[in-house]
Chain A
């Protein structure tokens, strides 16, 4: 059973397009996250979200928006894609209220913008 799943695994698209990446977790967690891993493998938080609060990394362009239809899902919508958006995007989840914040990661979505 996959704990955190993402679709698609690979996404190739043209500049200017709008795309979405889906994330689902079956761990019963109430907090979900999106991270971006660049070409140098550096991981950076983009968003964290639970049913109470969305926390946005201020460096993330507003072309990126998380949407959560329910506690088990956090999708990432990206408008007007740019070349610099090419990266691997990871979804993660955890249980809120625990300061040690152990997070479980999905397999990643490799986005290539041409």
Chain B
């Protein structure tokens, strides 16, 4: 069965610092992986997705993620954090039938000035 584990429920960085949010997956088939962001009191917005093309995926707002099959990881990074990046981040994997997304438990990113 597919599953996703996000390490660290809360990550705090200073403005301008590197952002690293960790995601490891478990999948019986080649996975399709996603990062979504949820700003307070809003729905989820897709940041980026991996669909078996390039292993380094660039998304919106300066975020990118690298698919590493050997490590079963899909960590999200951003070179320089902005205050506006403070939000909840979810890693997700598509189930084999493509009928649903299976989400990790989320990581809250806090950015301080």
**B67 adjacent to chain A (CB < 8 Å):** no
Q: Which of B36, B45, B88, B101 contacts A101 (CB 8 A)?
A: B101
Q: Which of A33, A44, A90 contacts B43 (CB 8 A)?
A: A90
Q: How far is the CB of B8 from chain A (nearest CB, A)?
A: 14
Task: Give every chain A residue within 8 A of B32 (Cβ-Cβ).
Answer: 99-101
**A48 adjacent to chain B (CB < 8 Å):** yes
Known: A99-B94, A100-B32, A102-B49. A108 touches B101 (CB 8 A): no
For window 84-101 of B, CB contacts with A under 8 Å fall at 88, 90, 94, 98-101
Docked Cα-Cα span, A107 to B106, in Å, equals 17
Closest to A94 in B: B98
Docked Cα-Cα span, A49 to B5, in Å, equals 26
CB pair A105 B44 closer than 8 Å? yes
Task: Give every chain A residue within 8 A of B34 (Cβ-Cβ).
Answer: 102
Known: A99-B32, A102-B34. A108 touches B43 (CB 8 A): yes
- Size category of the A interface is 20 to 34
Task: Give every chain B residue within 8 A of A97 (Cβ-Cβ).
Answer: 98
CB pair B98 A96 closer than 8 Å? yes
- Size category of the B interface is 20 to 34
**A43 adjacent to chain B (CB < 8 Å):** yes
CB pair B45 A105 closer than 8 Å? yes
Task: Give every chain B residue within 8 A of A17 (Cβ-Cβ).
Answer: none
Task: Give every chain A residue within 8 A of B88 (Cβ-Cβ).
Answer: 41
Task: Give every chain B residue within 8 A of A104 (Cβ-Cβ).
Answer: 46
The 30 listed contacts between A and B (C-beta, < 8 Å) are A33-B100, A40-B105, A41-B38, A42-B105, A42-B106, A43-B44, A43-B90, A44-B103, A45-B100, A45-B102, A48-B99, A55-B99, A57-B100, A90-B43, A92-B44, A99-B98, A100-B32, A100-B49, A100-B51, A100-B94, A101-B94, A101-B98, A101-B99, A102-B46, A103-B46, A105-B43, A106-B43, A107-B42, A107-B43, A108-B43
Other 9 A-B pairs with CB < 8 A, given A101-B94, A105-B45, A106-B43? A33-B100, A40-B105, A42-B105, A45-B100, A92-B44, A98-B98, A103-B46, A104-B46, A105-B44
